Structure 1
Amino acid sequence: MGTAIVDAVRPVEAGVPAPVLLTVEEAAYCLRIGRTTCFALIRTGELESLMVGGLRRVPADAPAAYLARRRADQQAA
C-alpha cells in the first residue's frame, strides 16, 4: 500500500528506491488535503510523524494507515 501512495507523490524511476519518509506537503498531497489540515492531523496524533533533525517527516505508510483507520471507524459507526 505504501508504494501506491508514494507513486502518487512522485514517479518511481528505475533503480531509485521509493522514499521511506515524506514531507508534510507530500503526505497532504497523498491524502488530497491541505497542508494546514495535515499539520492538524499530526498535532492530534491521527497521522504519524517524526522529527528528523529539525524537520517534520511522515512515514510513507502513515497516510495509508490513517485512511484505513478512518474507513474502519466509518464502517463501525
Structure 2
Amino acid sequence: MIKNFEQLPLVLTVSQVAQALNLGRDTTYDLVRSGHIRSVRVGHQYRVPKAALMEYLAA
C-alpha cells in the first residue's frame, strides 16, 4: 500500500491507482471508464495523472 501521495509518480497505472485508493482493480477501471477519475489512453492502456487522482479525492 502507498503510504504517502508525494511518493506517487506523475502518471499512474490503473493498478497503482487501485492500490493508492485501496480499491479493487475492477472498481478502479469502472471509475476510470466512467470518467469519475480523469485518464488518458495510451494505446490499449489507461494512464491516470497524479493531479487527476487528487481531483477525484477532493470531490
TM-score of the two chains, using structure 1 as the length reference: 0.63
What is the alpha-carbon distance in structure 1 between the residues aligned to residue 42 and residue 11 of structure 2? 10
Q: Offset of 1:39 from its aligned partner?
A: 0.6
TM-score normalised by the chain length of structure 2 = 0.78
Percentage of matched positions with identical amino acids: 39
Who wins on radius of gyration, i.e. which is larger? Answer: 1
**Higher normalized strand content (fraction of residues):** 2
Question: Which residue is 1:40 aligned to?
Answer: 30
Instruction: Give 5+ residue unaligned stretches, structure 1.
Output: 10-18, 70-77
Unaligned segments of structure 2, at least 5 residues: none
How many angstroms does 1:54 deviate by?
Answer: 2.7
Q: How many residues are treated as equivalent by the alignment?
A: 56
- RMSD of Structure 2 on Structure 1 (CA): 1.6
